[in-house]
């Protein structure tokens, strides 16, 4: 774990593991090893170690003993004087052995390593190399080399070193067995036989072994052509006539395609005295196979003419060798001339009936041309000797079965295809290739575990079967499990490996390094990844599969130009002039880079060509991937029907495939069928449980289906499986935001951005080069980018806010006794706005009317990040930064404050009200919500009661008090005023809102008020929504209802009314029009006030006449009504002083215009309507019969004609409501706003105005709201 932590640069964790290791096992060899790893992973050890390595390499190349000693001193400096450990020790002692007097210490060090990790070939080989250089240890060294030569992993290298020793050691009776043992294994090595038998002069005291030759041949065998070339060239600079260096460099030139120089070098090697037959044999073989290989290369790049020329030349050199003839047949097949290819294979089989390549090629052609039965007949007609000699007969039979199954699948008969393969397996249960074909079928159906178990089943009873191991490795390759493929191939002994196995092993080794480079890039280490890939380029050569894999890894490493350059290097004659293998590799790269149009063209080009079975399989896989992505693209464009038509053939062929099933799930989600989408994502996840992307799909569908517990579990799984993947982290963050879990979302987005920046190798946001003269443009650019992003309420309209369809639903104010009781903050609003409308977000309270595009009682517009589902594909760094900025803005601490004034022209001393409210609010993020702390000083003024008999009798003690006033017994009431400071707390999280507080402290009566509301979408895709809530609110229509009143004439006090009840609303907004309905029921009570009950209902519709990103025009129709049990729109003792008609109906037509720019937003609203109401007559003192009787007596005495009964009244009238509101963004932290409005009902008039500021700690760069929702006093919500 400590070593892994070091590799990931998690040094604190690594030190922690080291401390635990020291405590648990202080004597463990892993303690100094981990100490060394930590020392060399950080500066200055890291740089010193790299310098030591380079110095040692240069010293060896130049054969400079002094320089090598200096290099070793640098090693000691990097190691801090401590003994080297592990692979570093192996490297150190390998160099030390080539210094004067260093061989003994080197042997001792390597023997220590061998004791610590027994049988490690990487230690044993350099140990043997140094031992043979020491006279006393030479016999043991040769014995060790002989043992190592039998190993499958380093046997070739050990054999080369063993042979090298025998070329310079003098044969003696004592060491003759070294030669004899070697020749038993290599009887054709005439040079060593000559060395053993020929008389020799007295040998020098000690051999001189050039380590550069050993390193060069080892590098060549491993495919590291660059290192091999450097090693051989270094030897030739010192020894221009070195036989082995000439031959080795010749092989390098052959590999590099420089035939002329290769022949020159090999010819010189052959001409050297004592060169032996090996180099001559290599020269002749190289000439032939070079031509064949060059032909293959030309064929792969589509240069069929050149390929034919090379093959003709090779066939002239050796017309009988089957390799060239088979290559010629393959070229014919690639050119589409299957008839000629078939003849070529048959000709080879005529002279070499056991040639498996020819047999395989012929059977493949028969299978591809619909002659599977003939192919089977060909197999059945072989003699036992031919079958025994063919070697790969099982594979040929599998190819025939696969061809039959493929033909059935192409007909759409998947059941028949499977039956064919199952029948073939029953006939040959031990045939690994039939198992492989059936496993591939299972894999296509999404049954990966079953496929693996099927192929590996043979290995349970035959663990060393080369064919079974090879088939298992091929399946692992197809599944992308390169580690398992490599481990499986390692189990096949060298002697059992066929040329195809060798080539496959090399391909797997190459792919392993490519995969490591891609992973390194994904972890953010781009430079390391690119360096790894650059070192691989020579090994890729012109192999389309390797170059294609390399190019795709370069995409992961962020170097698309290099990726494209590599692929174009394989296509000198263009795509159409290239062979199928090149075209397939290029097609894969196009899909990787999202170039779907070009990919479609390339695919159509390939589909018309004659392909081998493997090529056809590759094309099918790429076509499958292309089809799924095309269906996704069509879905994104809104064409679900076409998307399904595109995907249907894939679903029919691969009903359980995870990728196709997930694509279908996305279609159902786009069609708002979230339960079906969730079920499909879960089905896909069963077949691919380690896919974090599918976990995100499950989470998204679960959230949309209202199953948050399922979503939470899936999100945790996704993040756990890909903790460093920025795309997964960003996707999870978006879903958390949809759930209202902004805290978790912000944390994940911050991690995602850090990982993305590391991956891309870019600077963090807001970090600029010192002295950048254009920093001042950055803020403006970001605002412009944000302004171009359409807010969520406009893009998705999931759960809009309240409309101005209720704009003209005003309380009637005509008639001398009418007391329309609008509060200051609600005076600009509909005076009949329901409780459902008023139950707003605690962070954005508003009683002002909004626009028709946001239906009554819905949710306020949400931030884009809150409703955007995870995007298809990888989000850009800028998108992530924007979303994080939105989240920080959404969760930012905020201070709000404003001054709000309203007034009306009702009767002085009773219904007249002038209100001044100075709202101050602080908002803090708490958990996943926002906590609001409110302080609101409120000053109310109601004027002075008139002195005439009627006016004086409408307040407090009524006629009796008026009689006493007229008699001079009591003074007239003074000016009606009230002052207090209201306190409140609010909390909003997700779809829930709650608040609690008091009516202003200092009023005659102080009440506890508050409420809870839940709001959500019904069908977000269609724009339907609802809300429900319970509340206890102050009735703010008048001083009496809001603060409470005292009549100084009678000493009576009453008022301070609250309304407790339930409310709800439901609606739909489809972006073209909307409909809604709302209702509430409430119980009203106060101090010394008659209790009351009331109900309200309303409904409406609206249309968008104009709707763009930055402007809108809407019109609507609204109908509403309300009823109350008692009429308490009076101000004598026992009456509440609030509008409470027994019947009220309203019809109005609202119109709204809204517009915005980068810094400002405004809206203008107007509504006209017709209203009818009826108020029943009521006693002056409904709660006290004694006071009522006295009032009747006093009324007759003072000449009041109504008999102490407030008369009933009815009215129908025309009303208007006007509102203008605007906001201006001064900076990204400070926004100011203003609103002004006026309305009427008959002779009643009221107006309101307000100014406010909002200051946020986090910058606000998202586009301003449209329509604007102005900030208002907390009591405007009452």
The predicted-structure confidence for 13-45, as pLDDT tens digits, reads as follows 778 877 877 777 777 777 888 888 888 888 888
CATH T-level fold of 414-497: 1.25.40
CATH T-level fold of 210-272: 1.25.40
Task: Name which of 482-496, 783-797, 1019-1033 the model is least confident about.
Answer: 783-797
pLDDT tops 50 at residue 78: yes
pLDDT tops 70 at residue 1147: yes
With pLDDT > 90 as the criterion, what percentage of the chain qualifies?
Answer: 25
What is the CB neighbour count within 10 angstroms for residue 27? Answer: 6
Q: Taking the domain 657-762, which CATH number applies? A: 1.25.40.10
pLDDT reported for residue 864: 30
pLDDT reported for residue 725: 84
Q: Please, which pLDDT band fits residue 971 given cuts at 50, 70 and 90?
A: very high
Who has greater pLDDT, 580 or 1183? 1183
pLDDT tops 70 at residue 938: yes
pLDDT reported for residue 622: 87
1232, 1251 contact by CB (below 8 A): yes
CA distance 294 to 584: 20
pLDDT reported for residue 163: 82
CA distance 850 to 319: 91
CA distance 493 to 482: 19
pLDDT tops 80 at residue 858: no
Structure tokens at 529: 């990844």
Segment 691-698 shows an average pLDDT of 89
Segment 115-119 shows an average pLDDT of 80
Segment 324-353 shows an average pLDDT of 83
Task: Name which of 92-96, 1085-1089, 1120-1124 the model is least confident about.
Answer: 92-96
Three-class secondary structure of residue 410 per DSSP: helix
Q: What is the pLDDT of residues 447-465, one digit of tens each?
A: 788 888 888 888 888 888 8
Segment 1259-1267 shows an average pLDDT of 88
CA distance 791 to 889: 14
Mention the CATH class of domain 801-863+879-1277: mainly beta
Structure tokens at 1035: 């009735």
pLDDT reported for residue 221: 67
With pLDDT > 70 as the criterion, what percentage of the chain qualifies?
Answer: 83
What is the CB neighbour count within 10 angstroms for residue 108? Answer: 10
Q: Using the structure block, give the residue that is written with the tokens 């696969």.
A: 402
pLDDT reported for residue 1162: 96
Comparing CA positions, the residue from 728, 758, 748, 744 lying closest to residue 871 is 728
Q: What is the pLDDT of residues 47-72, one digit of tens each?
A: 888 888 888 777 776 667 778 888 88
Per-residue H/E/C for 722-784? CCCCHHHHHHHHHHHHHCCCHHHHHHHHHHHHHHHHHHHCCCCCCCCCCCCCCHHHHHHHHHH
Structure tokens at 400: 């025939």
The C-alpha angle with vertex 777 and arms to 775 and 781, in degrees rounded to 5, equals 125
Segment 912-934 shows an average pLDDT of 92
CA distance 1194 to 99: 129
Who has greater pLDDT, 1075 or 438? 1075
Residue 668, φ and ψ in degrees, nearest 5? -65, -40
pLDDT tops 90 at residue 1054: yes
Three-class secondary structure of residue 1081 per DSSP: strand
pLDDT reported for residue 1123: 96
Q: Provide the sign of the torsion angle of the four alpha carbons 884, 887, 893, 897, taken in this order.
A: positive
Who has greater pLDDT, 267 or 223? 267
CA distance 472 to 985: 66
Comparing CA positions, the residue from 73, 70, 87, 74 lying closest to residue 36 is 87
Residue 1025 bridge partners (DSSP): 1017, 1067
Q: Using the structure block, give the residue that is written with the tokens 């080197």.
A: 106
CA distance 108 to 105: 5
Segment 214-238 shows an average pLDDT of 80
CA distance 506 to 77: 38
Comparing CA positions, the residue from 1103, 1028, 1044 lying closest to residue 1072 is 1103
Radius of gyration of the chain (CA): 44
pLDDT reported for residue 404: 72
- Per the prediction, the chain carries an average pLDDT of 80
pLDDT reported for residue 112: 86
pLDDT reported for residue 226: 82
1211, 814 contact by CB (below 8 A): yes
Segment 1048-1075 shows an average pLDDT of 94
Comparing CA positions, the residue from 1100, 1219, 1019, 1217 lying closest to residue 852 is 1100
Structure tokens at 406: 């493929």
Q: Please, which pLDDT band fits residue 1064 given cuts at 50, 70 and 90?
A: very high
Chain centroid to CA 64: how far?
Answer: 54
pLDDT reported for residue 200: 46
CA distance 1191 to 1052: 14
DSSP 688: -
CA distance 9 to 580: 43
Q: What is the pLDDT of residues 618-646, one digit of tens each?
A: 888 888 888 888 898 889 888 889 989 99
Q: What is the pLDDT of residues 765-788, one digit of tens each?
A: 444 444 545 444 444 444 454 444
398, 433 contact by CB (below 8 A): yes
Structure tokens at 1209: 């009244």
pLDDT tops 50 at residue 797: no
CA distance 1145 to 643: 50
Q: Where are the domains of the chain?
A: 210-272, 414-497, 657-762, 801-863+879-1277
Structure tokens at 195: 């060395």
pTM, full prediction:
0.56
Segment 494-509 shows an average pLDDT of 80
pLDDT tops 90 at residue 1038: yes
Ranked by mean pLDDT, the top range of 19-23, 194-198, 440-444, 634-638 is 634-638
106, 96 contact by CB (below 8 A): yes
pLDDT reported for residue 222: 66
pLDDT reported for residue 409: 67
pLDDT reported for residue 330: 84
Residue 1230 bridge partners (DSSP): 1255
326, 310 contact by CB (below 8 A): no
Whether omega for the bond prior to residue 846 falls within 30 degrees of 0, making it cis, is no
Tell me whether domains 210-272 and 801-863+879-1277 share a fold. Answer: no
86, 114 contact by CB (below 8 A): no
């Amino acid at each position: 774990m400590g070593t892994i932590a070091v590799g990931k640069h998690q040094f604190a964790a690594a030190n922690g593991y080291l401390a635990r290791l020291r405590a648990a096992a202080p004597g463990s060899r892993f303690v100094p090893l981990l100490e060394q790893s930590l020392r060399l992973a950080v500066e200055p050890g890291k740089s010193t170690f790299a310098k030591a390595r380079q110095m040692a390499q240069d010293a060896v190349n130049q054969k400079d003993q002094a320089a090598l000693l200096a290099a070793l001193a640098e090693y000691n400096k990097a190691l801090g004087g401590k003994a080297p450990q592990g692979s570093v020790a192996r490297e150190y002692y390998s160099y030390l052995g080539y210094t004067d007097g260093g061989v003994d210490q080197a042997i001792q060090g390597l023997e220590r390593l061998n004791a610590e990790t027994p049988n490690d070939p990487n230690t044993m080989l350099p140990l043997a190399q140094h031992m043979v250089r020491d006279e006393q240890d030479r016999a043991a060294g040769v014995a060790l080399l002989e043992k190592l030569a039998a190993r499958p992993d380093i046997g070739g290298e050990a054999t080369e070193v063993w042979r090298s020793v025998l070329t310079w050691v003098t044969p003696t009776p004592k060491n003759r067995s070294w030669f004899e043992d070697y020749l038993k294994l290599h009887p054709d090595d005439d040079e060593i036989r000559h060395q053993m038998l020929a008389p020799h002069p007295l040998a020098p005291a000690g051999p001189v072994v050039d380590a550069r030759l050993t390193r060069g041949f080892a590098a060549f065998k491993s495919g590291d052509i660059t290192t091999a070339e450097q090693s051989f060239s270094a030897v030739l600079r010192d020894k221009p006539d070195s036989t082995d260096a000439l031959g080795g460099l010749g092989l390098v030139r052959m590999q590099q395609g420089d035939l002329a120089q290769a022949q020159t070098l090999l010819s010189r090697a052959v001409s050297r005295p004592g060169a032996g037959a090996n180099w001559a044999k290599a020269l002749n073989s190289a000439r032939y196979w070079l031509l064949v290989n060059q032909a293959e290369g030309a064929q792969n790049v589509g240069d069929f003419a050149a390929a034919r020329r090379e093959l003709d030349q090779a066939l002239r050199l050796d017309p009988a060798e089957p390799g060239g003839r088979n290559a010629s047949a393959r070229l014919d097949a690639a050119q589409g001339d299957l008839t000629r290819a078939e003849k070529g294979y048959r000709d080879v089989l005529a002279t070499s009936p056991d040639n498996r390549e020819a047999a395989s090629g012929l059977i493949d052609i028969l299978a591809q041309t619909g002659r599977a039965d003939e192919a089977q007949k060909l197999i059945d007609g072989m003699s036992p000797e031919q079958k025994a000699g063919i070697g790969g007969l099982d594979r040929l039979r599998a190819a025939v079965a696969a061809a039959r199954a493929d033909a059935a699948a192409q007909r759409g008969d998947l059941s028949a295809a499977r039956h064919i393969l199952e029948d073939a397996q029953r006939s040959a249960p031990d045939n690994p290739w039939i198992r492989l074909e059936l496993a591939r079928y299972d894999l296509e159906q999404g049954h990966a575990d079953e496929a693996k178990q099927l192929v590996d089943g043979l290995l349970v009873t035959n663990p060393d079967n080369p064919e079974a191991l090879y088939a298992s490795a091929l399946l692992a390759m197809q599944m992308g499990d390169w580690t398992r493929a490599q481990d499986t191939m390692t189990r096949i002994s060298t002697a059992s490996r066929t040329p195809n196995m060798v080539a496959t092993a090399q391909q797997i080794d190459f792919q392993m390094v490519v995969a490591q480079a891609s992973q390194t890039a994904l972890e953010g280490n781009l430079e390391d990844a690119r360096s790894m890939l650059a070192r691989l380029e020579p090994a890729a050569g012109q192999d389309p599969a390797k170059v294609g894999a390399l190019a795709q890894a370069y995409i992961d490493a962020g170097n698309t130009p290099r990726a494209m350059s590599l692929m174009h290097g394989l296509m000198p004659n263009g795509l159409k002039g290239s062979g199928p293998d090149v075209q397939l590799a290029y097609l894969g790269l196009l899909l990787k880079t999202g170039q779907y149009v070009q990919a479609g063209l390339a695919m159509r080009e390939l589909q018309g060509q004659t392909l081998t079975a493997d090529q056809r399989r590759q094309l099918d896989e790429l076509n499958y991937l292309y089809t799924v992505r095309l269906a996704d693209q069509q879905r994104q464009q809104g064409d679900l029907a076409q998307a399904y038509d595109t995907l249907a053939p894939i679903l029919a062929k691969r009903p359980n495939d995870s990728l196709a099933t997930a694509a279908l799930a996305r279609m159902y989600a786009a069609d708002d069928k979230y339960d079906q989408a969730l079920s499909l994502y879960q089905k896909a996840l069963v077949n691919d449980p380690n896919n974090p992307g599918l976990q995100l799909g499950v989470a998204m569908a679960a959230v949309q289906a209202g199953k948050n517990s399922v979503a939470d579990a899936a999100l945790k799984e996704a993040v756990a499986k890909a903790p460093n993947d920025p795309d997964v982290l960003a996707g999870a963050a978006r879903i958390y935001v949809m759930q209202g879990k902004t805290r978790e979302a912000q944390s994940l987005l911050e991690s995602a951005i850090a990982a993305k920046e590391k991956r891309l190798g870019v600077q963090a946001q807001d970090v600029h080069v010192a002295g950048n003269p254009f920093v001042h443009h950055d803020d403006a650019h970001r605002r412009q980018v944000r302004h171009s992003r359409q807010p969520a309420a406009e893009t998705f309209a999931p759960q809009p806010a309240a409309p101005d369809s209720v704009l003209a639903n005003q309380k009637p104010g005509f008639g001398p006794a009418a007391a329309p009781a609008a509060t200051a903050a609600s005076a600009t609003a509909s005076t009949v706005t329901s409780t459902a409308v008023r139950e707003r977000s605690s962070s954005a309270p508003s009683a002002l009317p909004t626009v028709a595009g946001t239906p009554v009682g819905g949710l306020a517009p949400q931030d884009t990040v809150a409703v955007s589902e995870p995007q298809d594909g990888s989000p850009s760094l800028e998108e992530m930064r924007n979303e994080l900025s939105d989240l920080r803005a959404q969760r930012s601490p905020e201070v709000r404050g404003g001054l709000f004034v309203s007034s009306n022209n009702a009767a002085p001393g009773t219904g007249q009200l002038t209100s001044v409210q100075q709202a101050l609010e602080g908002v803090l993020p708490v958990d996943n919500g926002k906590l609001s702390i409110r302080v609101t000083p409120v000053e109310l003024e109601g004027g002075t009661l008139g002195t005439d008999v009627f006016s004086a009798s409408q307040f407090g003690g009524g006629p009796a008090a008026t009689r006493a006033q007229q008699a001079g017994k009591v003074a007239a009431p003074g000016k009606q005023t009230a002052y207090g400071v209201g306190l409140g707390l609010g909390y909003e999280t997700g779809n829930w809102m709650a608040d609690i507080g008091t009516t202003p402290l200092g009023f005659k009566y102080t009440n506890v008020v508050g409420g809870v509301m839940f709001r959500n979408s019904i069908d977000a895709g269609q724009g339907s929504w609802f809300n429900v809530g319970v509340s206890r609110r102050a009735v703010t229509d008048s001083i009496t209802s809001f603060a409470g009143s005292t009549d100084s004439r009678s000493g009576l006090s009453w008022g301070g009314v609250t309304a407790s009840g339930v409310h709800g609303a439901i609606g739909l907004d489809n972006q073209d029009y909307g409909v809604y309905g709302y209702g509430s029921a409430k119980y009203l009570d106060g101090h010394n006030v008659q209790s009351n009950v009331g109900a309200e209902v309303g409904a409406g519709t609206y249309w968008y006449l104009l709707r763009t990103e930055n402007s809108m025009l809407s019109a609507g129709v609204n109908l509403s009504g309300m009823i109350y049990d008692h009429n308490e729109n009076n101000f004598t003792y026992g009456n509440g002083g609030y509008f409470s008609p027994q019947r009220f109906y309203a019809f109005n037509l609202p119109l709204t215009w809204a517009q915005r720019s980068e810094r400002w937003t405004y809206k203008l609203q107007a509504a006209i309507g017709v209203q009818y109401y009826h108020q029943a007559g009521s006693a002056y003192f409904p709660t006290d019969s004694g006071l009522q009787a006295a009032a009747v007596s006093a009324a007759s005495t003072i000449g009041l004609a109504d008999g102490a009964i407030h008369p009933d009244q009815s009215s129908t009238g025309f009303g208007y409501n006007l509102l203008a509101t605007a906001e201006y963004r001064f900076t990204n932290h400070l926004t100011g706003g203003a609103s002004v409005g006026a309305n009427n009902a008959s002779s009643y008039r009221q107006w309101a105005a307000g100014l406010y500021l909002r200051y946020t700690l986090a910058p606000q760069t998202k586009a301003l709201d449209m329509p604007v929702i102005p900030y208002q006093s907390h009591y405007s919500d009452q």
